[in-house]
Amino acid sequence: MTRALLSLLPVIALAACDGGSDTRSAAGDASSPATSSTADGTSPTASRDTAAILAELGGDYVNADLTNGARQFRRCQSCHTLSDGGRHTVGPNLHGIIGAPAAGADRFSYSSQLAEAGLVWDLDTLDAWIANPRALVPGNRMSFVGLRDADDRRDVIAHIAVETAGD
């Protein structure tokens, strides 16, 4: 998979792998590497990493409901895989999509509308796309009506971020 993990993902990756050199500033207290003292009683590994990833996303993403995110993502799964190196199906594989330029996956035949839109999938752009793909990029080929509920969109984006950072 050659899609570059741009802007956001290296930060997420740092959060997911313990012991990255620490250049992070805000929200940084979730990061004390390796030594897992979880005063709040959560399980030491996965949940700490997940919390760090959500903290890096910032804003309301810290409140994301990942169970709902996984449930919402089932609607995407009819057309998208998310695993690293997953197949393109009706739509392109979405591994590493956050922070990536639109229409950047190898060997997927995008619409010219999406290819020429000049978008980068930062969190706000992704949110707008999932809310109403047709409004963001008229004429694109993703036939999905959109998720109306802002919390559902937040949760599904958080799910994508966590799944992508988890390997």
Residues within the interface to ligand HEC (CB under 6 A): 75-76, 78-80, 90-92, 94, 97, 102-105, 110-111, 113-114, 121, 126, 129-130, 140-144, 147, 156
Smaller CB distance to ligand HEC: residue 9 or 48?
A: 9
Q: How far is the CB of 3 from ligand HEC (least distance, A)?
A: 8
CA dist 144 and 126 (Å) reads 14
Q: How far is the CB of 15 from ligand HEC (least distance, A)?
A: 21
Smaller CB distance to ligand HEC: residue 30 or 79?
A: 79
Smaller CB distance to ligand HEC: residue 48 or 94?
A: 94
CB contact at 8 A, 146 and 83: no
Neighbours of 52 (CB within 10 A): 23
Q: How far is CA 137 from CA 51, 57, 72, 84, 94, in A?
A: 32, 24, 22, 26, 18
Smaller CB distance to ligand HEC: residue 80 or 154?
A: 80
Q: How far is the CB of 18 from ligand HEC (least distance, A)?
A: 28
Q: Which of 146, 92, 81, 147 is nearest to 114 (CA)?
A: 92
Q: Which of 56, 70, 59, 67 is nearest to 98 (CA)?
A: 56
Q: How far is the CB of 92 from ligand HEC (least distance, A)?
A: 4
